[in-house]
Amino acid sequence: MPYRNTSFTPHHCYHIYNRGNHRETVFIEEYNYIHFLRRLRKYLPPDKITILAYCLMPNHYHLLIEIREECDVSNMMKNLIISYTKAINLRYNVVGHLFQGRFHSKEVDSERYLLTLIRYIHNNPVAAQLVSKREEWKYSSYAEYLGIRENSISSPGRVISLFSSIEEFTVFSEGLPMKEHRAMSSALFPRSTW
C-alpha cells in the first residue's frame, strides 16, 4: 500500500477517509469497530491531533481532524492502518490489503466546508439505512456531540461553539437533504475510482 508524504499544516483541518479494498467490509463485527477506535486514539495522539468528528461505516471510515502541532500525519495514518490490518488478518486468518490504497485527505478551507463535512460525516449511517437516528450509530462522534456518550474520542467543543445551543446544532445536523448527501458522496468517492 503506497504511502506518500502529504503536507499537513498545524492549526488546519483535514478530512481523511478511505474504504475497503474492492469495496469490501472492513468492520465485520463490533470488536473491529472498537479495536479501530482504540488504535485511532493510540496513533493519532490528542496532544498532536484533535479529532473533530469521525464515523466508521462497515466498508469505510471518515475522520475530520485538526493538526495541533507539526507531526507526520501520513506516517501516523500508515501505522494505524497497518496495525488494524494486521489485527484483522490475524483474527480472520486472511492475508493482504484491507483498505483500497492510501488514505485520501482534503484540507478543510472554510468554516462552511467544516460544517458541511460534520453534517455529512454524521449523516452516513442514516443515509445507509443502518439506523434511523444519527445518535443510534455507536461508531460515530454524533452522540459525543450531543453529550450522551462518555469516554469520547472526538473534541466537539470547537464545532459546538459555532452554534448558540446543542439544539441549534441538532437542527442543523438533521437538515441535510438526501440529494445533497448523495452529491457529496459522489464528489468524495467518484464511481470510477471508488
For the domain that residue 39 is a member of, what is the CATH number? Answer: 3.30.70.1290
Each residue of 68-95: pLDDT tens digit? 999 999 999 999 999 999 999 999 999 9
DSSP category for residue 20: B
Within-domain flag for 4: no
Q: What is the DSSP letter of 133?
A: S
Direct distance between the N- and C-terminal alpha carbons of the chain, in angstroms, rounded to an integer: 16
What's the confidence (pLDDT) of residue 2?
47
37 in any annotated domain: yes
Angle value at C-alpha 174, between 171 and 180, nearest 5 degrees: 130
List the one residue out of 155, 121, 159, 114 whose CA is nearest residue 137.
Answer: 121
Lookup: cell for 104: 485520501
- Is 146 inside a domain boundary? yes
Q: Three cell numbers at 170?
A: 441538532
pLDDT of residue 142: 96
Q: Are 153 and 37 in contact (CB under 8 A)?
A: yes
What 3-state DSSP class applies to 177? coil
| This prediction's pTM | 0.89
32 contact partners, CB below 8 Å, separation of at least 6: 26, 88
Q: Answer yes or no: is 158 within a domain.
A: yes
Residue 194 domain flag: no
Confidence of residue 138 (pLDDT cuts 50, 70, 90): very high
The answer as to whether 103 is a domain residue is yes
List the domain range (segments joined by +) for residue 171: 13-188
Transcribe 2-14 into DSSP letters: ---PPP--TT-EE
Q: How many structural domains does the chain have?
A: 1
- Residue 185's pLDDT band (boundaries 50, 70, 90)? low
- Predicted local distance difference test score (pLDDT) of residue 61: 98
Answer yes or no: is 1 within a domain. no
- Residue at 5 is within a domain: no
